[in-house]
Amino acid sequence: MIFRFIRVIIIIFSLATFLLSVFALVGSYKAEGWLTGTYLIDFHLTQVDLPQLLSVVGHKRDNVPLPFEAAELFQNHRRNPGFVQDSSNVDESQSANNFKAVGIANAKEAAVTQSVIAAATGTGTTSTQATGGPQSGPNGQANGFYSTVSEVIQDIADNLHYRDLGLADVYSLSFFGYCRGYRVGNSSSTNDVFDNSKVNFTWCSPPKTGYKFDPLTVIKDEITNMINGDVQGAPDGTVPQLSTQVKSELKVLVNNLDDATLHLPSGVQEYLPTVNNLTVASMAMLFVVAVLGFISIIIQVLAMCLSPDDCCASFLNFMGQCFMFVFTLVTAGLITGTYLTVRDKVNAVTSEWGMRAFISINLYAFIWSAAVAALLVVIFSALGSCCGLFGTHRRMYTRVAPFAAAAVPYYGKRTTI
């Protein structure tokens, strides 16, 4: 009965390979507590430096007139002049930095209105767009309104908080999309801010097979949701109330944000297409591992019941198990190497950018455990085949004809009566 014991072991490890690969594959598929802890990598933005993220130098469409923005601002500003913030919904540690200089005093409404009309009609001193810059400063502003896209982007980078752009504290990436998370706790120390164990993921993007992460698209979607007041999965007290003026600036940012304006850490932008391609390939191979693991389970169960004495079938089964191990090992190596590289590139500039990246313990534990289980399947299968434990154990006999005595001639005297 030892052959049955070996087959049971192979079934157990095949089942482990199948389940572990599935758990790694479906991690963060949707916003469920038992799923969101499994992801490829996450990024903490709790200390992000917007002037580093939004590059004015790279912007190439600096003086594009947008008169409709000015007209819309004029209408909305008459209904809602100024910026209103509910201080009860903002952490004390953020109040000094969150929403600096983003309002216009009611006393300046007449001057602002005149500036907006001038920008919209192309008359006066401003012949390009007027977007509602909150401060008076460099040349190019008219009565507190910026006249170039670069000035708008610079003002947003200098004076707004990342939550003003609709961004969450943490973003995690998976095979099917991304999830938004918020830090749990109010500690302002650097170690606690980047504590990966204190994150609550509240929303995940609709799952998409072969998902490729595009930070530009994600940020533009987040800003658009912020403008529309539809921030996905945001807990109470985490979404600031923006004035019409700031919303108008954000619209200009969305319309003009491109790869040149969005400045990612050195090496990440160039490495991103490779990361996406390797991720899609790893997802496909992980799916193959799950299928091969399931097939291995079925074959071993049938073999316990039927125990076919077929050399060709046994060889094909063993080859399938070898492929399962190779695919699991290659997938684990690709994913680990890819996202360790991304993590190291981001964490190398944490002091400058205020971002930090972490990889998921769950996902990498799942996938490397699946590789070990697949290896054990191959070892026990080879052991059983080499030792002849998987035969039918039917004794083979050679049919032998019964012994027949040869006729012996009689040479004695014949007696007659």
Buried b / exposed e over 38-60, threshold 16 CB at 10 Å, is: bbbbbbbbbbbbbebbbbbeebe
Bin 388: left if φ > 0, else alpha if -120 < ψ < 50, else beta.
Answer: left
Position 131 confidence tier, pLDDT thresholds 50, 70, 90: very low
Tens digits of residue pLDDT in 326-360: 999 999 999 999 999 999 999 998 888 999 999 99
pLDDT number for residue 138:
39
In this prediction, residues 224-243 reach a mean pLDDT of 89
Q: Which of 29-38, 281-290, 333-342 has the lowest mean pLDDT?
A: 29-38
- Is the pLDDT score of 378 beyond 90? yes
> Which of 114-118, 346-350, 351-355, 374-378 is most confident?
374-378
- Is the pLDDT score of 324 beyond 80? yes
Q: Where are the domains of the chain?
A: 1-57+147-387
* Integer CA distances (angstroms), 396 to 306, 313, 384, 392, in order: 18, 21, 20, 11
> Which of 77-86, 114-123, 186-195, 276-285 is most confident?
276-285
> From CA 255, how far away is CA 229, in angstroms rounded?
18
Instruction: Assign 165 to helix, strand or coil.
Output: helix
> From CA 155, how far away is CA 145, in angstroms rounded?
11
Residue 325 near residue 10 (C-beta atoms within 8 A): no
Look at residues 174, 168, 167, 162 and name the one whose alpha carbon lies nearest to residue 359: 174
Share of the chain residues as helix, strand and coil, in percent rounded to the nearest 5: 50, 5, 40
Position 377 confidence tier, pLDDT thresholds 50, 70, 90: very high
Contacts for 208 with CB less than 8 Å, ≥ 6 apart:
176, 177
Position 398 confidence tier, pLDDT thresholds 50, 70, 90: low
- Is the pLDDT score of 370 beyond 90? yes
pLDDT number for residue 266:
77
Q: Which one has a higher pLDDT value, 239 or 56?
A: 239
